[in-house]
Amino acid sequence: FQSLDTQYRTAFVKNLKRGVELGRLDPKLLAFDLDKLSASLVIERDDLFLYLGLQTLTDRYFIADHDTKQTLETPQMFWMRIAMGAALNEKNKFEHTIKFYDIMSKLLYTPSTPTLFHAGTVKPQLSSCYLNTVTDSLDNIFKTYSDNAQLSKWSGGIGTDWTNIRGTGSFIQGTGVESQGVVPFLKIANDVTVAINRSGRRRGAACVYLETWHYDIEAFLELRKNTGDERRRTHDMDTANWIPDLFMKRVREDGDWTLFSPDETPDLHDLYGRRFEERYEKYEKMTNEGKIVLFKKLKARDLWKKMLAMLFETGHPWITFKDPSNIRSPQDHVGVVHSSNLCTEITLNTAENETAVCNLGSLNFAKFVVDKKFNMALVEEVVTIAMRMLDNIIDINYYPTEDARRSNLRHRPVGLGVRGFQDALYLLDINFDSEECVKFADYSMEVVSYYTILASSRLAAERGAYGSFRGSKWDRGIMPQDTLDLLENERGLKIDVARGGQLNWEPVRSSIREFGMRNSNCLAVAPTATTANIVGCIPTVEPMYKNLYVKSNQAGDFTVINSYLIEDLKKLKLWDFEMLGKIKFHDGRISEINEIPEALRNKYKETFEINPRWLIKSAAYRGKWIDQSQSINIYYHGTSGREISDVYLYAWELGLKTTYYLRTLAVSQVEKSTVDTASFGSTHLRKATVTVAPVMETVPATPKACAITDPSCESCQS
């Protein structure tokens, strides 16, 4: 142990060379001054990790000798290798490698998993997300299967828009037969996803999108059901609705809705806002004139109820909104956003010959609260380095397909996000369900947005603007926060989100006018579940799931407890074995433990104890500063279909672009073998409320399927 420091630094150089020798690491890494980098390792930063973080790195991220299974990295070696892989094209490699290493090893910033998997390797596929769109031809359909297999092989998460595929029963001119619609092709897409194990370390993952006016939308809603014809089910692939504003207006007005086949209404796919509404209404008139062959009319609310019923029962399809994603897009001059990605935070244009790509990374807000204040200077420092790192990845990246390479080099989008939002609230003594939380979401994201966009503009001054900059919203002087007014005007309905902020944006606007932007898109809030485990913070921008629970992932089962709660209980001298037993008995929920002061019980409410409108409102105020979107789960404790509808209508009314899973509580508690039943009573209590729990990363209880057709169930009622 006395010689650990020397051994650590010697092993760094030795194992890097061994990784190159084995063909795992890029020989270009040997051009770095390895001795100088070795001397720069800060070994004591290993102590920043919690057990779950170290276990996750060891099981899934560290480079190893395939034959001997010997691990070739320690945490600090790992961070340095990632930093080197991101600095390969820098002139001053040492300076930038150390900057990249510092922000990662201090757990201030973490790139996404593909970057952590592959930086510095011989095939550096560093991008997180790929989005593509399918055209209505057999050649393109099967090209998409092939492309998606390659993207998935290299750890890319995929979002594919299938709206162009004609509806069931439409006539195929070439063969003289009727089409079977989009569902059989989605079944094949599902099986391609299952067949690919991403880099041997992640299951293949994809999400398919369909617009709400598509003739096959009703069959699409049932893809994840556990009953019915298995040939028309896709159990291993996520699904999402791509919903135009007009549909939401018809739901509010209790109006009619018409389903069309895209071969008869081909321009609807590329239209949004008022132009979509005008064209859609024209097609509705054409049905009355006999000029449209294949269509179906129904009540918008009936389709909406079916969408929500499927969401409640299966967790799919997710609710995402076409018009806000396009109207607020900086790249409205060169294309259309046809879908989001696997996790609903990316909103980039796609076309037949352009697969959108996004490179992601996230700030750890838990580290940006210093002395009970949000440290703006630290944000500026870290964001400036992180944006350079993200921009470098675009040029270093290995692209599995030519469509992806072409698109990414032309537009250069990145997605800087945040995690540990709840950690920051705990440190600031702000309750999640409060206006103070909304204000912090607003201010903190403004600060991140300000310095992120400024950093991209400064990179443009050094390296040049991205290829399609001219004509973009950036070029037209329109910032993300300005686009809420555009959405409100286009929609014709008020968006109740306060405009303005606390910073002077003129320096940012001035820089863009002079130098342009290096990146077409800069901001996106991803789910960050695994990388949050690594750095030991609460994922993304959501409340604490539970104060005590078991987390299951590929590394195993881990007990997670809210350390902030424990520290506060210790300060009040309330932390002992009896309190631990009570917290276990209540599954981590402390609202019924009367010995704990009310202020603390309010501070440590779990996700399902917080009205989902608070999460949505915070997201809306945060979202005005974001040029892409946010991965926002909706947590609902109840069974009312009407309430679920109101929650999603509220999200739409506040201008959210996308939502992610609908999470609901399970039927029973987990039996607790470590709780004294003599003191606390039975530890396996049935709950009165029966709801459905979509697949989650946690194992809190055993879910029970909902009798969704039961007329006595409120979710089935209007």
* 693 vs 690: CA distance, rounded Å: 10
Of 101, 77, 97, nearest in space to 87 by CA: 97
The radius of gyration of the chain's CA atoms, rounded to the nearest angstrom, is 25
Backbone angles phi, psi at 131, to 5 degrees: -125, 135
Taking a C-beta distance cutoff of 8 angstroms, is the pair 130, 92 a contact?
Answer: no
Q: Which of 343, 437, 522, 537 is catalytic?
A: 343
Sign, CA torsion 421/655/255/246: negative
Q: Which of 326, 341, 349, 408 is catalytic?
A: 341
For the record, the structure tokens of 417 come out as 């996000």
* 654 vs 651: CA distance, rounded Å: 5
The DSSP symbol for 672 reads -
Q: Which of 345, 354, 490, 606 is catalytic?
A: 345
341 is catalytic: yes
For 410-434, b/e burial (b = at least 16 CB within 10 A) is ebbbbbbbbbbbbbbbbbbebbbbe
The DSSP symbol for 236 reads T
Which own/partner pairs from 589-594 qualify as long-range (CB within 8 Å, at least 24 positions apart)? 589/546, 589/547, 590/547, 590/565
Per the rule left: phi > 0, alpha: psi between -120 and 50, beta: everything else, 617 is: alpha
Taking a C-beta distance cutoff of 8 angstroms, is the pair 477, 513 a contact?
Answer: yes
* 507 vs 514: CA distance, rounded Å: 11
Q: How many CB atoms lie within 10 A of CB 704?
A: 13
For the record, the structure tokens of 403 come out as 């469509």
CA torsion 704→710→714→718, rounded to 10°? 140
* 632 vs 129: CA distance, rounded Å: 17
Give the DSSP letter string of 518-579: S-S--B-B---HHHHHHHTS--TTS--S-SEEEEEETTEEEEEE-HHHHHHHHHTT--SHHH
Q: How far is CA 416 from CA 30, 175, 627, 636, in A?
A: 30, 48, 10, 28
Q: Which residues partner with 238 through β-bridges? A: 207
* 515 vs 618: CA distance, rounded Å: 33
Of 490, 453, 495, nearest in space to 474 by CA: 453
* 191 vs 194: CA distance, rounded Å: 5
Look up residue 62 and give its amino acid: F
DSSP helix/strand/coil, 160: strand
Q: Which residues contact 178 (CB under 8 A, 6 or more apart)?
A: 168, 169, 170, 171, 172
Report, in this order, helix, strand and coil percent for the chain, each rounded to 5: 45, 15, 40
* 47 vs 4: CA distance, rounded Å: 14
Look up residue 362 and give its amino acid: S
Backbone angles phi, psi at 523, to 5 degrees: -130, 135
Q: Apex CA 317: angle with CA 157 and CA 159, to 5°?
A: 25
Burial of 50 (0-12, 13-18, 19+ CB in 10 A): middle
For the record, the structure tokens of 336 come out as 């259309």
Residues belonging to the active site: 341, 343, 345
